[in-house]
Amino acid sequence: MLHLSSLISNIGSRNLKVTVRVDVADLRNHRTNRQPHQEFRTLGDARRWSSPAARSRGGGRIRRMGCSISGLNALYESATGGGDVWINERRFRVLRQIGEGGFAFVYLVREQQPASDAAPARRHAAHVSEDGIYAMKKVLIQSKEQLDLVREEIRVSSLFNHPNLLPLIDHAIIAVKSTQGDWSHEAYLLFPVHLDGTLFDNANIMLSRKEFYSTADVLQIFRQMCEGLKHMHSFDPPYAHNDVKPGNVLITRRKGQAPVATLMDFGSARPARKQIRSRSEALQLQEWAAEHCSAPYRAPELWDCPSHADIDERTDIWSLGCTLYAIMFNVSPFEYALGESGGSLQLAIVNGQLKWPAGPSPPYPDELRQFVIWMLQPQPAMRPHIGDVVLHVDKLITKYLS
């Protein structure tokens, strides 16, 4: 284990002592007489040591968090005020921030000229941006629990390969130690960029303009979401997304064509099927759902779980029904309860108290409303599985788009 310590002055508005832990393999001149520790006086020295050129000369290989990631590069740039971030051996220029939430920030980045011919070979051809523009999510990690969650998000995201699921292209995790001696981490996750925003963003704009999607667009957007979710539900064991909502559906507009829908954010995705056999297990599930599943789209059984229940992927079907409603009317189906005197979002959801918007609304066929009702059954056993949902939406597409 190699420890690197250096005092970096005036990072932001404070001094920060940074320590990076790395494993060193195949060090030249250390095969027979290895030293337990080695110290670099500057991050620049460490970065030069960890560069591809140095490694080609036998300088060793840095590994971190189970990934072959040159974390020192990213740390060096942030510590010295540079505008670049390194992920593995790929260098990205930060252009601007495009979003934030909780402990995460999303940046628009452009890939710089690869430093070696080896870097492009690792990329999936379908995920290479022609103009080098990507979205980079930076997560500030303050606890072991948060670190475990990020690692799980990376693991789960790497399982899926579908055109309607946002792919994780690359990632890095950096360990940092402050002057107070506390360890923290920063994670960098690289994704394709979608600059047209999410369904939630578009809904807010359309609501302010009193605009609605056409029946054709509603069905085609929804079908793409279903295809992505079907891919997850088809795993063995099936995976539930657990946070299907308009804010997690990216939209790409195409002139003269229906928008492309891409389901994202797999931080809450887990194996879908759980056997609940005690009150304690039921309360644990409810507590987990309260932290990971957005309240307006959370299934009734995750609000009030019985002490004896079999939970499955149909929790996502409830969320899918709520999202279809939101695509149609630009609002979620149960948040009306928050505006009522004595209203309760939980009671509205658990009792399935669905209300249709008052006033002028788009002339959607009644079959579309019945489709929503079919998915919003409070009893999970009464809800369809994703395969049935896809078959039904295909029938509606054939009827209304042909």
CATH code of the domain containing 267 = 1.10.510.10
| Span 8-18, average pLDDT | 33
Residue after which a domain boundary falls, among 191, 218, 234:
191
Residue 37 to residue 14: CA distance in whole angstroms: 28
Residue 183 has pLDDT above 60, yes or no: yes
Give SS3 for 178: coil
pLDDT on residue 362 = 84
- Domain match, 159 and 209 both: no
Question: Residues near 57 by Cβ (< 8 Å), separated by ≥ 6?
Answer: 28
* Enclosing domain of residue 56: 2-191
The reply to whether 168 and 250 lie within a common domain is no
Domain co-membership, 248 together with 387: yes
The mean-pLDDT minimum among 68-72, 151-155, 313-317, 362-366 falls in: 68-72
Please tell me whether residues 218 and 119 are part of one structural domain. no
The three-point CA angle 79-25-53 to 5° equals 60
Catalytic residues: 243
Do 95 and 15 lie in a common domain? Answer: yes
> Is 20 in the same domain as 75?
yes
| 171 pLDDT more than 70 | yes
168, 203: one domain:
no
DSSP string, 42-107: SHHHHHHHHSHHHHHTT--EEEBTTB---HHHHHHHHHTT-SEEEETTEEEEEEEEEEEETTEEEE
What pLDDT score does 208 carry? Answer: 92
Mean pLDDT to the nearest integer, 252-258 = 84
Edge to edge, the sheet with strand 90-101 lists 84-87, 90-101, 104-111, 133-141, 183-191, 170-177
The model's confidence at residue 57, banded by pLDDT at 50, 70 and 90, is very low
**Average pLDDT for 129-140:** 87
Across 49-72, average pLDDT: 39
Q: What pLDDT, on a 0 to 100 scale, did the predictor assign at position 81?
A: 40
44 and 162 in a single domain? The answer is yes
Q: Mean pLDDT, to the nearest integer, of 325-333? A: 96
In a 3-state reduction of DSSP, which class is residue 110?
A: strand
**Which segments within 282-398 are labelled E, that is strand?**
309-311
Give how many domains the chain has, as a whole number: 2
268 and 374, same structural domain? yes
CA distances from 36 to 23, 32, 137, 210 (A): 11, 12, 35, 67
- Of 78-82, 154-158, 356-360, give the range with the top mean pLDDT: 154-158
Residue 213 · residue 330 · CB < 8 Å: no
Confidence band for 88, pLDDT divided at 50, 70 and 90: confident
Strands 239-240 vs 270-271: parallel, antiparallel or unpaired: antiparallel
Of the three residues 191, 213, 234, the one that is the final residue of a domain is 191
* CATH at 153: 3.30.200.20
- Do 267 and 349 lie in a common domain? yes
Q: What is the pLDDT of residue 38?
A: 33
pLDDT value at 130 more than 80:
no
Of 110-119, 133-142, 191-200, give the lowest mean pLDDT range.
110-119
Please tell me whether residues 180 and 216 are part of one structural domain: no
Could you give the percent of the chain with pLDDT greater than 70?
A: 75
Question: Within this chain, do residues 51 and 82 fall inside the same structural domain, yes or no?
Answer: yes
